[in-house]
Chain A
Amino acid sequence: MGQDTLIRNVLIPTAQILAVVLILPLLIAYLQLVERKVLGFMQARLAPRRVGWHGLLQPIADAVKLLIKEDVIPEKSDRFLFTLAPIATVIPALAALAVIPFAGAPFTVFGYEVKPFITDVNVALLYLLAISSLGIYGIILGGWASNSKYSLLGALRSSAQMISYEVPLGFAIIGVMMLAGSASMVDIVEAQRKAGVWYVVPQLVGFFCYFIAAIAETNRVPFDLPEAEAELVAGFHTEYSGMKFAFFFLAEYTNMIVVSCIATILFFGGWLRPLPNVESLWWLQNGWLILLPLTLGGFAGWLFGQRTGRGLPPMIAGGGIGAAAGAILAMSDLGGLASLSLPAVSGAFWFFFKVSLFLFMYIWFRGTYPRYRYDQLMALGWKWLIPLSVANVIVTGLAIVVKGAVQGRG
């Protein structure tokens, strides 16, 4: 085996895996800060401000605290399973990221071509469904091994909920698979480029089912029954502390990111810009050229509004001015920035932008909704989502057959 093959087959994949596994916890730590900040904004309070400028170092402090905390194992618990459970939860969550393409085009490092995803398998969707089912084991084991009644109830709720909602999740995905004719993530995005439209348009019902089932699957508000702190203290992880607790936490947020990534890829064109086939919108390709001034303008306006007590209008105005300036900059191609050809960067931008919007939706829901009750959750899943998603598959199938027949005749 030559040196070249070694690098290509061993070194680069290892580096990719390390990059994902090492960057992700940091990303999650800051996602949590964003969550706290956004919730604070919605709830008329300040959110973390003490550690670092505007609380920017808070996630680091939290992580350190969890690392050095005492690791309590209840006396009557099953020690082996109690330790195994967080690991069994976090590994499937991380493994799911293996098939997520973060951008389309490969880039070169030291003359070697690196793809912006760990692997592209032709059964990626099936792999994701299988892996996400495994995550339930960790939760059931953790709840059972704790030997606490609250944990057990939380674990039972969780398993029932996740198993029920996996069915509509799977059916919602089938619609996309039928349209794209493939289960590979990269192929699905490429199919959307060819179709010239994001699959959310023909698969609106499918997306609706997927999104609701995904929230339930990740145990987030309004489906956060397994850890409903008002009823079950903390549900399945009541007895956990320190790093073991952090692992459950990590798994929950990883799952959130994974389902947002899948939603982006299946229904919102992954790394494609809006309207990927319309040539006259080419300047949208480098979307960060618009978003960056928009954010800066909006932030400046917000600061101005805070200082002068004018509230939100300056923020909206600042954001608008920023966006307009960015659009002009992009369209006029000043300084050659817009026509700068960095497909990996622009693809990654659009991908992460869409994923962020989904994550924001999660946080927004958390700030808005009360929690479903156990029986209502089951009723919603079995009486509404499953029939709806099955109907979606049937209608999609019929539409494909009719379309094929019409085209075949023409």
Chain B
Amino acid sequence: MFRTEEMDINMGPQHPSTHGVLRLVLNLDGEEIVDVRPVIGYLHRGVEKLSEHRTYAMIEPLTDRLDYVAAISENLGYCGAVEKLMGLQVPPRAQSIRVILAELQRIASHLLWLGTHALDLGAMTVFFYTFRERELILDLFEQFCGARLTYNAMRIGGLLEDVPPGWTDRVRHFLSIFPSRQKEYEDLLTVNRIWLGRTQGVGVLSREDAVALGTSGPTLRGSGVDYDVRKSQPYSSYDQFDFDVPLGTKGDTYDRYLVRMEEMRQSCRIIQQALDRLPEGEVRAKVPKYIKPPAGEVYHVVESPRGEQGFYIVSKGSEMPYRMRFRSPSFVNLQALPMMCKGRLIADVVAIIGSIDIVLGDVDR
């Protein structure tokens, strides 16, 4: 007489909480998730193929559009890969400024994550607070390179120009106000009972699964795996800085939240050290006018705010790469979503998507 059946729901590609054009086909039993199938490709622009028809200098603006909320990390990774291929030595001042930019970018990206994650769980005010501080960072970037989102901030061999006068003081000013602002977010969330209820024990990713699925970044470290590219394969003088890699214990949404919150503090520490001992000198190595790396191949990874961002370049010795391949952390981390969602409620899917912090430009490339 009565019968129940499972219901398929399309969450996205137009949905406020899928953070872009991600489509999830949810198979529901009431409100409980039976299965999740992520459908991707709505933002595919073929950046890898496009790169085969661009000179090396022209590719950097394309990398801005991969992970568009952390474009500087992409710039850094791409330039690093080409420099490795050409055997270029980047001047120490340029390396330190790159570190400052990349860590500011990490804070800005985590602020965007925190705001949207909290908004997904219904805490609206945090969103405005984090955007207030993100704006300060974007102002710093604008003063440095004139852009606020797609920076094209670096050049192969270093930077286009040195930082403008007074810029380091403005960064110091930001560092002086940021800790108190971060306390404001923590006051609203970290010990809030509703927040704890919504995040603790939700979307648990075990240590073994996290490694087996190839996740990286805070998603991996939230599960307690001590792996940070900045420590394991230091690039751009990261080995000279003193910072901790925060780790979670349970691998749930709350642990990933705590890991990212602590990462923002550690980023402040790194920027402070870089400012304190900023070397003098040139900001760009001697680079030929036409960049023609020797034939060969190279793989270079950086720790983007989302995880391990890899750049694989095959060169045949011409002005353009023969093959370009990006290893994007969002794409790999998204694989963990169905496993984390099974058996949970719809409201948890939103929390889990927020906690793996994907950017669709990075997933689809």
Task: Write the residues of chain A forming the contact surface with B, with a CB cutoff of 8 angstroms.
Answer: 39, 42-45, 149-150, 153, 157, 221-222, 224-225, 228-233, 366-376
The interface-forming segment of B74-82, B93-101, B122-130, B230-238 is B122-130
The interface-forming segment of B277-285, B290-298, B342-350 is B342-350
What are the residues of chain A within 8 A of B9 when measuring CB–CB? 149-150, 153
Chain B 1-35 against A: per-residue CB contact (8 Å), 1 yes, 0 no?
00000010100000111000000000000010000
Closest to A43 in B: B128
Shortest beta-carbon distance from B3 to chain A in Å:
17
Residue in contact with A370 in the complex, picked from B15, B31, B122, CB distance below 8 Å: B122
B195 with A370: CB separation less than 8 A: yes
B120 with A376: CB separation less than 8 A: no
A372 with B124: CB separation less than 8 A: no
Q: Which 4 A-B pairs have the closest CB atoms?
A: A371-B122, A43-B128, A370-B123, A230-B120
What are the residues of chain A within 8 A of B86 when measuring CB–CB? none
Task: Write the residues of chain B forming the contact surface with A, with a CB cutoff of 8 angstroms.
Answer: 7, 9, 15-17, 31, 118-125, 128-129, 132, 188-189, 192, 194-195, 197-198, 345-350
What are the residues of chain B within 8 A of A42 when measuring CB–CB? 125
CA distance A225 to B31 in the complex (A): 12
A369 with B31: CB separation less than 8 A: no
B125 with A367: CB separation less than 8 A: yes
CA distance A157 to B121 in the complex (A): 16
What are the residues of chain A within 8 A of B194 when measuring CB–CB? 222, 369-372, 376
A369 with B123: CB separation less than 8 A: yes
A230 with B17: CB separation less than 8 A: yes
What are the residues of chain A within 8 A of B120 when measuring CB–CB? 230
Residue in contact with B197 in the complex, picked from A157, A231, A372, CB distance below 8 Å: A372
B122 with A369: CB separation less than 8 A: yes
CA distance A222 to B125 in the complex (A): 13
CA distance A375 to B201 in the complex (A): 14
Shortest beta-carbon distance from A171 to chain B in Å:
23
B347 with A373: CB separation less than 8 A: yes
B346 with A231: CB separation less than 8 A: yes
Query: With A42-B125, A44-B128, A370-B118 known to touch, is A376 a contact of B16 (CB < 8 Å)?
Result: no
A230 with B31: CB separation less than 8 A: no
Centre residue among A222, A233, A373 by max chain B CB count within 10 A = A373
CA distance A62 to B121 in the complex (A): 27
Query: With A229-B16, A231-B347, A233-B16 known to touch, is A224 a contact of B122 (CB < 8 Å)?
Result: yes
Query: With A370-B194, A373-B197 known to touch, is A44 a contact of B15 (CB < 8 Å)?
Result: no
Given known contacts A370-B189, A371-B194, what 9 new A-B pairs fall within 8 Å (CB)?
A43-B129, A221-B122, A222-B122, A232-B346, A369-B192, A370-B122, A371-B121, A371-B122, A373-B345
A228 with B128: CB separation less than 8 A: no
Residue in contact with B125 in the complex, picked from A368, A371, A376, CB distance below 8 Å: A368
**What would 29 A/B residue contacts be, using CB atoms closer than 8 Å?**
A43-B129, A44-B129, A149-B9, A150-B9, A153-B346, A157-B31, A229-B16, A230-B17, A230-B121, A230-B350, A231-B17, A231-B346, A231-B347, A231-B350, A233-B15, A368-B123, A369-B192, A370-B118, A370-B121, A370-B122, A370-B189, A370-B194, A371-B122, A371-B123, A371-B198, A373-B197, A373-B345, A374-B31, A374-B345
What are the residues of chain B within 8 A of A370 when measuring CB–CB? 118, 121-123, 189, 192, 194-195, 198
What are the residues of chain A within 8 A of B192 when measuring CB–CB? 369-370
B128 with A45: CB separation less than 8 A: yes
What are the residues of chain A within 8 A of B348 when measuring CB–CB? 373
What are the residues of chain B within 8 A of A222 when measuring CB–CB? 122, 194
Query: With A44-B132, A230-B17, A369-B192 known to touch, is A374 a contact of B123 (CB < 8 Å)?
Result: no
CA distance A228 to B122 in the complex (A): 8
CA distance A39 to B129 in the complex (A): 12
Closest to B7 in A: A149
Closest to B31 in A: A374
Residue in contact with B16 in the complex, picked from A225, A230, A374, CB distance below 8 Å: A230
What are the residues of chain A within 8 A of B350 when measuring CB–CB? 230-231
B31 with A153: CB separation less than 8 A: yes
A376 with B197: CB separation less than 8 A: yes
What are the residues of chain A within 8 A of B345 when measuring CB–CB? 373-375
Closest to A376 in B: B197
B128 with A368: CB separation less than 8 A: no
CA distance A149 to B120 in the complex (A): 20
Shortest beta-carbon distance from A225 to chain B in Å:
8
Closest to A375 in B: B345
CA distance A233 to B15 in the complex (A): 7
CA distance A369 to B119 in the complex (A): 10
CA distance A328 to B346 in the complex (A): 58
Residue in contact with B347 in the complex, picked from A39, A43, A228, CB distance below 8 Å: A228
B197 with A366: CB separation less than 8 A: no
What are the residues of chain B within 8 A of A231 when measuring CB–CB? 17, 346-347, 349-350
Shortest beta-carbon distance from A284 to chain B in Å:
35
Query: With A229-B16, A233-B16 known to touch, is A373 a contact of B7 (CB < 8 Å)?
Result: no
What are the residues of chain A within 8 A of B129 when measuring CB–CB? 43-44
A230 with B122: CB separation less than 8 A: yes
Closest to B132 in A: A44
What are the residues of chain A within 8 A of B7 when measuring CB–CB? 149
CA distance A140 to B118 in the complex (A): 29
CA distance A373 to B348 in the complex (A): 8
Closest to B8 in A: A149
CA distance A372 to B121 in the complex (A): 8
CA distance A185 to B298 in the complex (A): 80
Shortest beta-carbon distance from B215 to chain A in Å:
24
CA distance A221 to B124 in the complex (A): 10
Shortest beta-carbon distance from B112 to chain A in Å:
16
CA distance A368 to B124 in the complex (A): 7
CA distance A374 to B350 in the complex (A): 13
CA distance A228 to B197 in the complex (A): 17
